[in-house]
């Protein structure tokens, strides 16, 4: 990806990695919907989302500051990629960058995937990326994890046959959790990935940090039969 001019597109002065815990729960489970809860979508007119007006073929869940999202969009210019992110400042910054640079095949929506993917058509997505999610390692916080059987049901529904789910984390505990949940779900064939050539995808901001600090990462590719 071409270098971003951060003088032209400065990041906000104050950014928070984490946000309200309520954003990680489905709206249906909350007694009161917080004022700044991410928008809910039933249907989406893709003409209002992508500059080229076409639906997405790939989804980056938890796209963060968007290095991976923007790089994939540049590398696969003939396919649309949609970023989903709960943090408002990330979405605003990315949306401004995408529209200012007129990147036709890339878009971002502020959304909590805990609410499902009902606005995505059945068997329409080639690849889904769920990379370095918030780990929620404390026992009392585990229920905030989006990676559940319900989540995988939605992934399975929207993937085309042969479609792929890419998973990455820097925590062995989360890697084991991903494998356990995938095994319990049983509808996706998955493999551990040990080399970059087999992975074949650009690095995220988090992965670049791990590389600099010599932190081990764990990767899985799951395929819909």
Q: What is the rounded distance in angstroms from the CA atom of residue 68 to the CA atom of residue 83?
A: 10
Out of 88, 95, 134, 170, pick the active-site residue: 134
| Phi, psi values for residue 51, rounded to 5° | -65, -30
| 134 part of the active site | yes
Q: Give the whole-angstrom CA distance, residue 127 versus residue 136.
A: 25
Task: Enter the tokens of residue 42.
Answer: 């039933």
Sequence-distant (≥ 6) Cβ neighbours of residue 218 within 8 angstroms: 168, 169, 170, 171, 172, 174, 175, 192
Total number of residues shown for the chain:
225
Contact 65, 94 (CB under 8 A): yes
- In angstroms, rounded to a whole number, what is the distance separating the alpha carbons of residues 90 and 43? 23
CA 75/CA 143 separation, integer angstroms = 35
Give Cα 125 distance to the centre of its chain.
13
Please say whether the beta carbons of 56 and 80 come within 8 A. Answer: yes
> Known catalytic residues?
134
């Amino acid at each position: 990806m071409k270098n971003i001019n951060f003088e032209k597109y400065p990041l906000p002065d104050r950014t928070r990695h984490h946000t309200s815990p309520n954003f990680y729960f489905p709206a249906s489970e909350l007694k009161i919907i917080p004022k700044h809860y991410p928008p809910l979508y039933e249907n989406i007119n893709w003409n209002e989302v992508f500059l080229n007006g076409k639906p997405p073929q790939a989804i980056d869940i938890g796209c963060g500051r968007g290095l991976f999202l923007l790089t994939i969009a540049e590398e696969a210019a003939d396919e649309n990629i949609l970023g989903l992110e709960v943090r408002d400042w990330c979405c605003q910054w990315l949306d401004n960058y995408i529209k200012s640079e007129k990147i036709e095949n890339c878009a971002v929506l502020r959304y909590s995937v805990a609410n499902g993917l009902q606005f995505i058509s059945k068997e329409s997505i080639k690849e889904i990326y769920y990379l370095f999610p918030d780990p929620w390692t404390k026992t009392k916080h585990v229920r905030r994890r989006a990676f559940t059987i319900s989540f995988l049901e939605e992934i399975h529904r929207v993937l085309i046959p042969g479609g792929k789910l890419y998973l990455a984390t820097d925590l062995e505990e989360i890697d084991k959790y991903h494998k356990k949940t995938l095994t319990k779900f049983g509808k996706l064939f998955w493999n551990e990935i040990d080399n970059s050539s087999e992975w074949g995808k650009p690095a995220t901001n988090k992965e670049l940090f791990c590389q600099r600090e010599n932190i081990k990462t764990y990767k899985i590719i799951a395929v819909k039969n």
